Structure 1
Amino acid sequence: MADIALAPAPQTVTSPCISLTKGVAKVKRRNTTVLVSPEDGKSLRISKPAEALIPLLAEGTDRATLMQTLAERYPGTPRVTRQLDRFLNQLREAGLLETDTLTRPESPKNGKRVAKIAIFDMDPPANMIARAIRALPTGLAWGILAAMLGGAILAIILLAVGPRFPHPSEFVTGFHVAGALIYALVGVPLHEFAHAVACRLAGGKVGRAGIVAHGFVPGPYVETSGLYLVRNRWRRFAVPAAGPAVDLMAAGIGAAMILLAADPEGAIAHIGQTLMLVSLLFLVLNINPFMPSDGSHMVEALLDDELARKSALRLRGSPLSDRRDVAFYRAYASGYVQGLVCLMWFWWF
């Protein structure tokens, strides 16, 4: 089985009570175990000692019982109290722990709340397109995708080696509102829709789409929390990768508009220029490894570790992430920064 339901319903336990939130599931991946909340997809990779505490937390328990269980199963383990507190804090930060009356009496719900406005159900159209794609021969479907991505890359390369390649400063001096509107009204919805279709193709469920507020900055979202049930890492990788693929194709369309425009200084060329630069800007932002982004989710899917980003960005890493995974993620982050600096250096100068 891919997952095991752990906390079907909260139970009455002598206070102070520590328990998992309702519906948390335990998923086996490679040699590790991941706790996942089906409601929002929040997850946490746990260690072997921590796994022994899950049945107790599923029923509801207290700190003394957890300490006793660890001491009996792993006698002689140093700093048991510190390790238990760290594990409970990780559960709390991931939003997988119910009210802990001993340590957080003022917090009725653990985890940060994010303002979301659901607009419509994305599953029916995503499922329809996914079925149409499945009806195609596998080779043909992959061929179409390769042709679209390859065409976009080719258009950008041809523009880059020619005299019409825009300077980054032309993002401001040659800005055309129509190019930005095309990306905002067409590119952004297609970006999110691509996530939904890829999730359906991978075998995951898709929820509603809408607007989510990250601090003061609103942005679109689509619910793909059921993706945790997909065990194949490459299928999970394809879901976040679908969005940047759309950004790349949008940039390719913008580059083609510049190449095919009869007048290099005409409206078509400036619209294509703005579309390409805006698409490339959002592509770079979407694959950045330092924020919860498509790029970080892609690498975490490949590593089978939802904590890879947080572990890698800590100076000492995390005991719940493999050292090789942390090293790989840090190499990706370093390569991202170096590649971005080199690109801007050669492009600007």
Structure 2
Amino acid sequence: MAERFLSQLWYRVEGLTPRLRVHVTVHRHRYRGQPWYVLHDHASARVHRFTPAAYMVIGRFDGQTTVGAIWSELAETHDADAPSQDEVIQLLATLHQNDLIHYAGTPDVADLLDRYRKKSTELFKQNLTNPVSIRIPLWDPDAFLTRTLPAVRPFLGWVGLLLWLAVVTWGGLTAAQNWQALTRDITDQLLSAQNLLISLVSYPLLKALHELAHGYLTKVRGGEVRDMGIMFLVFFPVPYVDASAAAAFRNRWDRAAVSAGGIFIETFAAAVAMVIWASAEPGAIRAIAFNIVMIGGLSTLVVNGNPLLKFDGYYVLSDLIESPNFGTRANKYWGWLIQHRLFRARQLKEPVATPGERRWFLVYAPAAFVYRMVVMLGIALFVAGKYYFVGILIAAWSIFNALIKPGFKHLRHVLTAPGLRKVRGRAKAWTFGSIAAVLALLLFLPLPLRTDTEGVVWLPKTAHVRARAPGFLDLVPPARGAAVTPGETLAEMSLPTLDARLEELRWREEEQRRRLGVAEIADRGRAEVIRLELEDARAELAREMARRQDLTVRSPLAGTFQPVAPPGDLAGRWFAEGDLIGYVLPPRPEVLRVVVPQADIALVRERLERVEVRLAGHLSDRHETRVLRAVPQATTTLPSPVLGSLGGGRFLSLPGDEAGTETTEAVFIYDLAVPETLTEAPPYGLRVHVRFDHGTEPAGAQVWRRVRQLFIERFNA
């Protein structure tokens, strides 16, 4: 027998006669076409999955046959496929730690087995290390669920699914129609004192329905639900139900249905609340409906229903792809890859997984880590905008649990893990060398420093043809694209009451002139007053005469005329003073008007080395240009609606601004010269993508600048 099958500690366990505890049942499942054995512990409502190789040993536990005899039999009948003695000891450790076996052994057996596997994480320790899921068990709900199951059973099948689909579709269409109103000032609405008070009631109630859905779906498929209590989700108390018994279900669709039950309930409630919100008048009912829409809709999409976080969506994905304990196994697979490939710890056994699972693992582990950090830091920033201390606490806890604590854990593994004993030097070199390389890259390697923004091909204000006086358009303007010269008449307007007004003012002037002639002879004191009235009449007449001249619309410069509507549609239309009639487009644009965010203005002002632009539709062509002028004062008005989010631009438009030119952040306006390298004149109003080049700077300095700007912007700190 090969030496690798033997263990120096075998004599300590070979005389044990283990058997499965009476509260443990065995179920045979198939995952991805391969058989597995699931041990369901009814006492703790937990399930444990084992390979057929492991069950070759477990299945022979009868309380009479010794471990030594079982191993000897397997070694003789299965030869090289038989488990080694170390693997049998490891299996005994796993079964013992999870209280799945009973045996009569010496007092130090437990200590021996603990050398092979760490003690299970205690509930208190788990609560301390997980800021978003602190659990306090309170009640065994199995009897209650059994009594009330007949009342809800009709909604736990196809009827309930079709009802859910209809209501959620209705709610989704309603949300799309009212999206702007729903998301207007969403931060202030969510974190307002009124909404938080509503959440104290609505959130626990909605989560109670969520958890009861898990329980009922487990019961209707024959499972037991023995644990219900309170979970502090981001420090907020909500009920929870332990429906882990569903993991013992043979059919993957049954397991997935139990996991998805909470998602169905919350989205159903959100859809109903959305319809109520859209039709209700402002008041308490509308506020409650808004709260439920945000809890049931937003939290489901971002947290509970997303498979990258270990909530319902994660378990649905695991069940559907038949890969239990998916996230943990993905992390372990990455750990094995690093140790096997980089550290060359060839003696480490590859985690059991199918080729398809390995591909999932490669993508899932890094994606889940990044998404988890984005969500937690996003929640921290969101909350800190209103409640600074709470947000900072969440952010610090998230960074500690996601980066600092795992980092120290991995360093300790490299320094002390027995499996790395033979390659410890290489493991240290790779680990600390990688840390040093990353720090060097962050602190010393110069990287391009650039800021990107957008602008438009700018049409000068002088090119806008506007009505200088109110009136009806009589003379039809030139056709679209007609060439015009400066001062050329573009349109004639008329104001029917203007001629009568001019005639009235002429007679008034004549009246004052004749009165002045009489007063100069009869009453010289009175003559001075009449002379002032005569001057007023003449001035008013002059103003109205000028107004009549303004009815003739002339070209402000040379170019091609572009009316705001077909000339035939403009005839007879009323224009108020200042209304736009058309544009006179110069032969070639001269200015690109660009918007610079406030966060980038310091770099643009102080460290600008080069400016590069690309035109929309021709993004592969880069053109270098120069700055013509800059407006020193910040503004919240965009020069064109195409730069705002409503027009497809990068700047967030102010909710409620129909024009789409008001932005939520302060911006600065720059004018750039149209590149001389452009062979064809770009059309006015075209979007341009601009890159300001600021030279080079280490990545660490660039990250530090953005973090400082974030704290100044969000926390004024």
Report TM bin, short chain. 0.7 to 0.9
Q: How far off is 1:40 after superposition?
A: 3.2
Find the counterpart in structure 2 of residue 300 from structure 1: 318
SS in structure 2 at match of 1:296: helix
Find the counterpart in structure 2 of residue 311 from structure 1: 329
Relative to structure 1, the CA distance from residue 184 to residue 163 in structure 2 (aligned partners, 3 Å threshold; closer, same or farther) is closer
Corresponding residue to 1:184 among 174, 187, 203: 203
Matched, 1:122 2:141: no
Find the counterpart in structure 2 of residue 7 from structure 1: none
> Deviation digits for residues 227-253 of structure 1, max 9, x if unmatched?
345322112111110102222233334
Relative to structure 1, the CA distance from residue 289 to residue 46 in structure 2 (aligned partners, 3 Å threshold; closer, same or farther) is same
Structure 2 gaps, min length 5: 1-12, 104-108, 124-135, 338-349, 379-644, 653-717
Letter in 2 for 1:150: T
Relative to structure 1, the CA distance from residue 277 to residue 323 in structure 2 (aligned partners, 3 Å threshold; closer, same or farther) is same
Corresponding residue to 2:230 among 193, 207, 211: 211
Corresponding residue to 2:359 among 310, 319, 327: 327
Equivalent-residue separation in structure 1 for 2:371 and 2:232 (angstroms): 30
Relative to structure 1, the CA distance from residue 84 to residue 146 in structure 2 (aligned partners, 3 Å threshold; closer, same or farther) is same
Which of 301-310 and 23-32 deviates more?
301-310
Q: How far off is 1:51 after superposition?
A: 1.6
> Deviation digits for residues 89-144 of structure 1, max 9, x if unmatched?
544565535585352479xxx7455452116433235412343447xxx7644321
Q: How far off is 1:270 after superposition?
A: 3.8
Letter in 2 for 1:43: V
Q: How far off is 1:167 after superposition?
A: 5.0
Q: Is the 8 Å Cα contact of residues 287 and 294 (structure 1) preserved in structure 2?
A: yes
Letter in 2 for 1:54: I
Letter in 2 for 1:101: A
Corresponding residue to 2:291 among 229, 253, 274: 274
Q: Is the 8 Å Cα contact of residues 92 and 113 (structure 2) preserved in structure 1?
A: no
Find the counterpart in structure 1 of residue 35 from structure 2: 32
Find the counterpart in structure 2 of residue 164 from structure 1: 182
Find the counterpart in structure 2 of residue 96 from structure 1: 100
Equivalent-residue separation in structure 2 for 1:19 and 1:105 (angstroms): 19
Find the counterpart in structure 2 of residue 4 from structure 1: none
Find the counterpart in structure 2 of residue 195 from structure 1: 214
SS in structure 2 at match of 1:244: helix
Equivalent-residue separation in structure 1 for 2:154 and 2:58 (angstroms): 42
SS in structure 2 at match of 1:39: coil
SS in structure 1 at match of 2:183: coil
Q: Is the 8 Å Cα contact of residues 167 and 348 (structure 1) preserved in structure 2?
A: no
Q: Tell me the matched-pair count.
A: 327
Letter in 1 for 2:260: A
> Deviation digits for residues 269-320 of structure 1, max 9, x if unmatched?
4433333333345423323546653223222322334332321222138634
Larger radius of gyration: 2
Relative to structure 1, the CA distance from residue 130 to residue 254 in structure 2 (aligned partners, 3 Å threshold; closer, same or farther) is closer
> Deviation digits for residues 62-112 of structure 1, max 9, x if unmatched?
664565355334434698245334444544565535585352479xxx745
Structure 1 gaps, min length 5: 1-12
Equivalent-residue separation in structure 1 for 2:242 and 2:250 (angstroms): 18
SS in structure 2 at match of 1:56: coil
Identity of aligned residues (%): 20
Q: Is the 8 Å Cα contact of residues 93 and 113 (structure 2) preserved in structure 1?
A: no
Equivalent-residue separation in structure 1 for 2:226 and 2:278 (angstroms): 39
SS in structure 2 at match of 1:204: coil
Equivalent-residue separation in structure 1 for 2:171 and 2:101 (angstroms): 45
Return the TM-score normalized by structure 2: 0.39
Find the counterpart in structure 1 of residue 257 from structure 2: 238
Letter in 1 for 2:153: R
Which of 141-150 and 81-90 deviates more?
81-90
Find the counterpart in structure 2 of residue 75 from structure 1: 79
Relative to structure 1, the CA distance from residue 153 to residue 69 in structure 2 (aligned partners, 3 Å threshold; closer, same or farther) is farther
Letter in 2 for 1:142: L
Matched, 1:153 2:145: no
SS in structure 1 at match of 2:139: strand
Equivalent-residue separation in structure 1 for 2:27 and 2:651 (angstroms): 47
Return the TM-score normalized by structure 1: 0.72
Equivalent-residue separation in structure 1 for 2:84 and 2:173 (angstroms): 57
Q: Is the 8 Å Cα contact of residues 305 and 312 (structure 2) preserved in structure 1?
A: yes
Find the counterpart in structure 1 of residue 555 from structure 2: none
> Deviation digits for residues 141-168 of structure 1, max 9, x if unmatched?
43212113323333333333x3332455
Q: Is the 8 Å Cα contact of residues 178 and 278 (structure 2) preserved in structure 1?
A: yes
Relative to structure 1, the CA distance from residue 208 to residue 49 in structure 2 (aligned partners, 3 Å threshold; closer, same or farther) is closer
Which of 187-196 and 68-77 deviates more?
68-77
Equivalent-residue separation in structure 1 for 2:213 and 2:233 (angstroms): 21
Q: How far off is 1:16 after superposition?
A: 5.2
Question: Greater strand percent: which structure?
Answer: 2
Q: How far off is 1:324 after superposition?
A: 1.7
Equivalent-residue separation in structure 2 for 1:193 and 1:225 (angstroms): 13
SS in structure 2 at match of 1:117: strand
Letter in 1 for 2:58: I
Q: Is the 8 Å Cα contact of residues 129 and 197 (structure 1) preserved in structure 2?
A: no
Equivalent-residue separation in structure 1 for 2:167 and 2:62 (angstroms): 47
In angstroms, what is the RMSD of aligned CA positions? 4.3
SS in structure 1 at match of 2:39: strand
